[in-house]
Amino acid sequence: MLEVSNLHAGYGRVSVVRGISLSIPANGIVGLLGANGAGKTTLIRAISGIATVQAGQIRLNGTVVTGAKPETLVRRGLVQVPQGRLLFGEMSVRENLEMGAFTLRSRKQFDAALERVHGIFPVLRERGGQAASVLSGGEQQMLALGRALMGNPACLLLDEPSLGLAPKVLDQILEIVVRIRASGTPVLVADQNARKVLQISDYSYVLENGRIALEGESRRLLHDPAVAASYLGVQI
């Protein structure tokens, strides 16, 4: 599905991630873990065509997409839910969802996508006419996910979904991520909350100073005390 090989990326000439190789299989959830500043967001931005790829290769469904523009990648099905959500606060919930549907070619496709999103997030149907800015943090994260799903993504990149959310709300969001994977969309989840991500993912990568320090099956990493002590600095 998505293959990243020996990727070096950053901003201009400044390298933030160096020599990253990872893969996201079809119908999989892959975790990207690490402390703040480890390079998670830069890696996701590089894959999404926002940060500068300085070396290495990115393949989507077997096609090389290294250096492609963000809009080209979205049209190919690679969609990011950015850190902080980045909603259009003064626009309505419905209008934000419409913004995510710009790749759809017909009203029939739009109606089907909207029905799917409303089925996953009933609150977005109920709040359709309200401004995005008045939603709670959890509802805003649901809207950001819903907006991404409106384009029927082939692969979803989720950056720091735990940001600003209470633990119970984060649990709800991650349960929805599992449902999204079950519907056929693979997901890369980057977050500092190691335990939560390891519990829902199949395979995980731990970043440290812009490099992969450790990788493996999530269920194994979840019960490895050395992961917390050596790489994450938190008790899992």
87-125 pLDDT, tens digit per residue, is: 989 999 999 999 999 888 899 999 999 999 999 999 999
Average pLDDT, the chain: 91
Beta-ladder partners of 32: 190, 205
**Tens digits of residue pLDDT in 141-187:** 999 999 999 999 999 999 999 888 888 999 999 999 999 999 899 99
Whether residue 1 is predicted with pLDDT greater than 90 in this model: the reply is: no
Q: What's the whole-number mean pLDDT along residues 122-134?
A: 95
Q: What is the reported pLDDT for 218?
A: 95
Would the pTM of this model clear 0.85, i.e. be above it?
yes
Class of domain 1-77+155-236: alpha beta
Whether residue 197 is predicted with pLDDT greater than 70 in this model: the reply is: yes
C-alpha angle 44-161-147 in degrees, rounded to nearest 5: 80
| Cα–Cα distance for residue pair 90/208, rounded to 1 Å | 38
Q: What is the reported pLDDT for 230?
A: 58
What is the distance between the terminal CA atoms of the chain, rounded to a whole angstrom? 30
**Tens digits of residue pLDDT in 36-81:** 889 999 999 999 999 999 999 999 999 999 999 999 999 999 999 9
- Which pLDDT band, with edges at 50, 70 and 90, does 231 fall under? low
Beta strands in the chain (DSSP E): 2-11, 14-24, 29-33, 52-60, 63-64, 78-81, 155-159, 187-191, 203-208, 211-217
Domain boundaries, the chain: 1-77+155-236, 86-152
Q: What is the reported pLDDT for 228?
A: 66
What order of strands is seen across the sheet that includes strand 203-208?
A: 78-81, 155-159, 187-191, 29-33, 203-208, 211-217
- Which pLDDT band, with edges at 50, 70 and 90, does 194 fall under? confident
